[in-house]
Structure 1
Amino acid sequence: PLGIAFDGYGNLFIVERTASRVVATSPNGVWCVIRCSSSTGSGSNQLYYPSSLTFDNLGNLYVVDNGNNRVQKFFINPNSCVELTTTSVFESTDQSTSSPWMSTSLFNSAKESRFSHSTVITFETTKNNLTNFNCSIPRIKLIPNDTLLTTPIKFRRSDDFYLNSMIIFECNQSHPFTSQWKFFNCGLTCENELHFNSSLIINRNELYIPKQIFPYGIYELKLIINSSISSSIFIEIIPTNIIVHLIQYGTSMITISVEDNLILNPGKYSIDPDSNLFNSNDWIYEYSCQIDHNETFLINSSQSLLFIPRNSLIPNKTYEFQVKLTHYNYPNLQGIGYLSIRTESLSIPMILISCLIPTMCFSNFEYEYINPTTQLSLFSICQGNCSSIHHITWKIYQQITDDTQWKLFSYNNEYQLNTSNLTIEKTIFSEYPNVSYWRFEVIYTFERRISSSSLNFVINYPPRNGSCSINPSHGTTKTFFKIICSDWFDENLITDYSIYVNDDSEKIMIGTSFLPIFEVYLPIGFNQTILVHIQDEFNAMTIVKLCSIQVIPDSNEISEFVDWSVRLLTSGNQNLITQMFISISQIINSINTSNSTEFVTIREFLLPYITNLPITTTESIKLQSSALSQLTMITNQLTRTTSTLASTKCYELSIVLQSRADEISYEDVQIAADAILQCAANCFTAINEPLQELMTVLDLDFDRANTLPNDYDTDLESICSNP
């Protein structure tokens, strides 16, 4: 390819000199425009070693046809895309052509036609089929792959999950294709097709399944391309452990008065992650109690609610209640809940404590999981007569093992320790790697009374004892780098591998996968570090730093790289699209050029590929926002259309991020929010500065603003002009 140009509809046109043809690309695919099936020559539908092309402000396409010493002008039919009716004017005898354009030959020298006479031929072309070209049958690579009905990949019903694919299509030109997912319930075979509501998007190469969509069981998920070629993956939806709470919020320890009735209600306060409601009638309840760490005794009750009348407990004692839940129909489904109660003789309010983000505190029997790589945010509330609170104090305790005494921990932030909420920075946990257990106690002081509550945590240690490698150690923007992570151990399931590029200035996310072996394209950089974030199902994370990688541009011509990237952009693969986005963006961001028109059109051309991507997981939000912040970085190369599309997509990302802010970690919110804010600021600057005359209006914006629409009536004598 030697030259590129954009039409008014955002389609990219590319001159291929060696092939002597012109092709066009859009987010819907790539198709041939000029000299698609004919040989090289001097006919009106032929080219011979063309070198460049351009559009005028009326949408006419001019191609410099070097081998024929001429410039050809092509009139575009704006009402069609591939299926067109065309007319060709050419010398002497009748010919047929498959060009979807109407062409007239012009000459550089004579400015007049050399045809002594001509014949006008009208013919029709139909939509391109795969059989028109030298193409192989498309191959589908599902990620993950290599699953069988007997060895399906397992997902908990409470988890969202995301399936990726790569469409491998060897062809002398790319072509749009249709995708559809179908779902089958499996027994001995998978013949029963399932149908879901319209909220499930099934016409993309990638598939996002929100939580609680599939019932328990084994399923075949089949991706069908062009209604004939398919590939399947087998999954099994398995139950999630229930979270048993005896009281509201699942507080570990409370203080109560023996003069008050006590109600333990696991049937009301327990949580079934696989359902929006906890069905208390599905479970068998077994209660037990231990007083002051002495012998445990059973409580004669199997109801979902345990009522303990006032004055049934003894003052100044510690009662440890336990309830075991067993499912009626599935005895293997069980859950255990704990509650420690300190009793007082005076009437006092009850204090409850819990995590501000419930999904960041996962229950592990009598403890809550805490991740040493994320900050901890707690809140406390007072129930009862709380009108005379004098003081609130937090205390933090450490424990090396669960059979040692709690040791008071000295925390320097006094302000944090005197409010109803408490935020602990993640550095506290990393500074004490040998401490496995933590207790956070809040004490409310009233007039002549004190009430307290606490929550116990155990460290959820991140994945460990493994390694990651990347191969090769250097390459170009077209090199597929293979990353292999092996031998990682975690008590819980490892669910995500995210890839970041960290150069001297910033950290950029470029891909995510739940498989330990994956391939990525990397952006240019001479001393960039690759970071692999390995995360388990409860969000504990290990960061692996790989060796420095050198990536250089594959070609000195940005147009050639864009042309090569288009086939990957049309794949619909979110990882590949964002990787190409970031690579192209960084190349054109780094070039200090006096002719930015080409880069302006490239940015506008690229944008629809990412604005059409679905917003699925938290990693998807981070990935797309990172790519958009890179593409919009050079604000004087953003047209109004580019700014509008980018800002709209960033707004959509922010809405989804806001809806999940109470479900994901502070660190994840910060990464995504920073990129979204950067994108929004770039778009605002690009729109505002020309209005403030602080930046020159782009030629493309100026032409669009001053070009009359095709249906505009300029006849002053017409009825419409003289109402």
Structure 2
Amino acid sequence: MRFFQILHISSVNIIADLATINDLIDKITNSSSTITNDPIVRLLSSGNQNVVGQIMTSLSQEFNQMNNDNLDKAISSGISAASILVSSLGSSSLQQVSIPLNESALINFNIELNSLANVRDYLVTFITNLLITTSNSIILQSSSLVQLTQSTNQLTRNTLLLVSNRCYELSAALYAMFEKISYEDAQSASNQLFQCASNILNAVNGPLQGRTEVLDLDNSRANVISTDYDTDLESAWSNLNLFSDGNDFSTATIEKNRNIYYQKQLANQINSQVTQIISLLTSSLNIHLNIGQSSLMNTSQSFISLETISIASLKDRLVKQVENAQFSIPSDFILNTTSN
């Protein structure tokens, strides 16, 4: 006779050590020489995918909450929400407080904003330098990148460039193994990468649209004297005519427009790369879909709907999208192709 013992084990809760996290933020903000001895940095330096992925996700979630708290505080102090954040898909309208702008609140907001932006800028290389091995590796890394880029107002150009390149690499790796993995794995990885692509697009365009603040680190990097300043006569950096406003060649104007110039350059680069990412991901998913099958991914960052259908069924078709958006394909629609 066998006897079975039933054990009631309470669930395990992981509680972030805010003291350790705040210590890390201080070290990065102040460029401390002891940063390499920080316990979090030592773990991130291990190169272990599971360790790095879980720590980056946990840290990013804490930073995202800090950012949300900072945004709420700023908006309640009279700072226009439209000038400091881009709302997620399907989010409710923010209630703007009709009170005079509190200048000290804006200063405090920017201090917190730039501090966390610097932290993300420092930490991003720990995830973008990991090896890409299996579909689980792609899912883990892309999931961490989604959390890292969720606060789109805190992403420097360096962070955006590294994340965009890594998202492309992960998408290409996923496409290369589409015949060897399940549809569920392909969808899980693609879902994360679509969100990541959406985040970096929002982030790079935010300052250009006046929707997010220009980050101090971006501005300082754009205006540091170029190493080839004296030798490269074609260098855009030294061409003040590119950055002046008419006859205004003041230092403030030059520095402001130089930063905008580099932001636009990166926006064009990321826009092109995101197009490639979307192409790779849709190809990875479409191979798993037969005619009549569809795939829907709806998150706060992105809405992706894929469906494999015959050409004949396109006519008079109503296509529904996020937030009740829809469009119809007319009955006289003609597609010049012989493929389904």
The TM-score with structure 1 as length reference comes to 0.23
Bigger share in strand: 1
The higher relative CO (CA closer than 8 Å, separation ≥ 6) is in 2
Please say which structure displays the higher CA radius of gyration: 1
